[in-house]
Amino acid sequence: MLLLALAIAPGLAICTYIFLKDQYNPEPRRHLLISFFLGFLSAAIAVVLEMGLTATTELYTKGTVWGTAFLAYIVVAFVEEWSKYIMVRLYAFPKPEFDEPFDGIVYAVMVSMGFATLENIAYVYQHGYAVAIMRMFLSVPAHATFAIIMGFYMGKAWEVTGMKRTKYLMTGLFMAVFWHGTFDFFLFMEEAKLVTRYIAEGLLFIGAIISFAFAVRLSRKAIAEHIALSAEMHRKPDEGAGGQG
């Protein structure tokens, strides 16, 4: 039970944080719950695709830098972020309740945390408490930052139509894939032992942390910008009168 709690707690904590940030026009709880469980479905889709692609990649490029890059950016990052993107795009984005920029971040995080929670349960039960603690402070928050970046652009897409909407949606997907892939690439390079162990392993791990830190910084800016936009949208007509009366 403790392992299960450690696996579930990070995702629920991040969902709660984002829900509380959505203070001007909170989303219906049923949509948030459904989005969270759609994250489970996206994880299942990703596992099936990754299994086939990983086998093919390792057959031809195992032990090479290019193979590791393909594994990180395409097999893992693109497949996982695309599977999350599809859930938000098909379920939440068309709904009338998706009616302000911050909603992009809210729904993207809910789906992503569903994905990360199911993934976390599998990892934690396989590897135990040490992995549970490490993923609590690194892997699960990483999934959240990638989702916030994607959701930031989905929120911008809500405000426009046509090719501009498509551009924002694809930019969000690309940015999430880029930061996710960069984070994984350094870690996969370390795992593949493609560099000198005693010097480069530490540098590669630091590189993964740096890529995560950049993603966190972008995420914080995205949240602040969309909250400001939401506040502006929901400001009362008589506000801003400068106290004249």
85-89, 94-98, 229-233: the lowest-pLDDT one: 229-233
155 falls within a domain: yes
Q: Give residues with Cβ within 8 angstroms of 110, minimum separation 6.
A: 15, 18, 32, 35, 36, 39
Residue 219 lies in a domain: yes
Does a structural domain hold residue 244? no
As for how many domains the chain has, the answer is: 1
pTM of the predicted model as reported, rounded to 2 decimal places: 0.85
Name the least confident of 40-44, 175-179, 184-188, 207-211.
207-211
Q: Is the pLDDT of residue 110 over 50?
A: yes
Cβ neighbours, 10 Å, residue 203: 13
In a domain? residue 69: yes
- Structural domain range at position 200: 2-21+29-230
Does residue 36 lie in a domain region? yes
How far apart are the C-alpha atoms of 73 and 60, rounded to whole Å? 17
Under a CB-based contact definition with an 8 Å cutoff, are residues 27 and 103 in contact?
A: yes
Average pLDDT value for the chain:
85
User: Average pLDDT in the 134-139 region?
Assistant: 84
Asked if residue 235 belongs to a domain, the reply is no
- Looking at residue 240, its pLDDT comes to 44
End-to-end CA distance of the chain: 60
